[in-house]
Amino acid sequence: MLERLFQLQAHNTNVRTEVLAGVTTFLTMAYILFVNPSILGETGMDKGAVFVATCLAAAFGSVVMGLIANYPIALAPGMGLNAFFTYTVVLGMGHTWQVALGAVFLSACLFFLLSIFKIREWIINSIPLELRSAIAAGIGLFLALIALQNAGIVAANPATMVGLGNLASPQAILAILGFFLIIGLEALRVTGAVLISILVVTGLSILLGVSQFGGLVSMPPSLAPTFLQLDIAGALDVGLISVIFAFLFVDLFDNSGTLIAVAKKAGLMRKDGHLPKMGRALIADSTAALGGSLLGTSTTTSYIESAAGVSAGGRTGLTAIVTAVLFLLALFFAPLAGSVPAFATAPALLFVAVLMASGMAEIEWDDITVAAPVVVTALAMPLTYSIATGIAFGFITWVAAKTLAGRFRELNGMLVALAIFCVIKLSLF
- Taking only the tens place, the pLDDT of each residue in 37-50 is 988 999 999 999 99
* 61-106 residue pLDDT tens: 999 998 988 888 899 998 878 888 898 889 888 889 999 999 999 9
Q: 163: which strand partners?
A: 155
Q: What is the mean pLDDT of the chain?
A: 85
Give, in order, the Cα–Cα distances in Å from 45 to each of 176, 225, 330, 339: 28, 8, 20, 17
**pLDDT band, residue 201 (cuts 50/70/90):** very high
Query: Tens digit of pLDDT for each residue in 236-247?
Result: 876 778 788 888
Between 261 and 137, name the one with better pLDDT: 137
How much is the average pLDDT of 102-120? Answer: 85
Strand, coil or helix: what is 233? Answer: helix
Average pLDDT over residues 233-256: 79
**Which residue from 245, 171, 233, 240 is spatially nearest to 208, judged by alpha carbons?**
171
Lowest-pLDDT range of 108-122, 199-213, 269-283: 269-283
Report the half-sphere exposure of 86 (CA within 13 A, side-chain side): 23
Q: Which residue has the higher pLDDT, 404 or 303?
A: 404
- Pick 246 or 181 by higher pLDDT: 181
Mind giving me the DSSP string for 335-355? HHHHT--HHHHHHHHHHHHHH
Separation in Å, CA 72 to CA 10, 107, 261: 14, 25, 12
pLDDT, tens digit (0-9, with 9 covering 90-100), for 328-347: 999 998 888 788 888 988 88
* Across 187-191, average pLDDT: 87
Q: CA dist 295 to 226, 227, 267, 326, 400, Å? A: 6, 5, 34, 18, 41
Count helices and strands (H / E) in the chain.
Answer: 20, 4
pLDDT at site 312:
74
Q: What is the pLDDT of residue 423?
A: 87
pTM: 0.79
Dump pLDDT digits (tens) for 5-55. 777 777 778 888 888 888 888 888 888 898 899 889 999 999 999 999 999
Cβ of 413: how many Cβ atoms within 10 Å?
8
% of the chain surpassing 70 pLDDT: 95
End-to-end CA distance of the chain: 55
Residue 55: predicted pLDDT: 94
Question: How much is the pLDDT for 314?
Answer: 81
pLDDT score at 121: 66
* 426 Cβ contact list (under 8 Å, min separation 6): 389, 392, 396
pLDDT tens column, 154-170: 888 888 888 888 899 99
- The CA–CA distances, whole Å, from 80 to 20, 92, 93, 230, 318 equal 28, 15, 17, 20, 27
Task: Band the pLDDT of 375: cuts 50, 70, 90.
Answer: very high
Cβ-Cβ contacts under 8 Å for 411 (sequence gap 6 or more): 399, 402, 403
What's the confidence (pLDDT) of residue 123? 73
d(CA 381, CA 378): 6
CA nearest to 38, candidates 142, 151, 141: 151
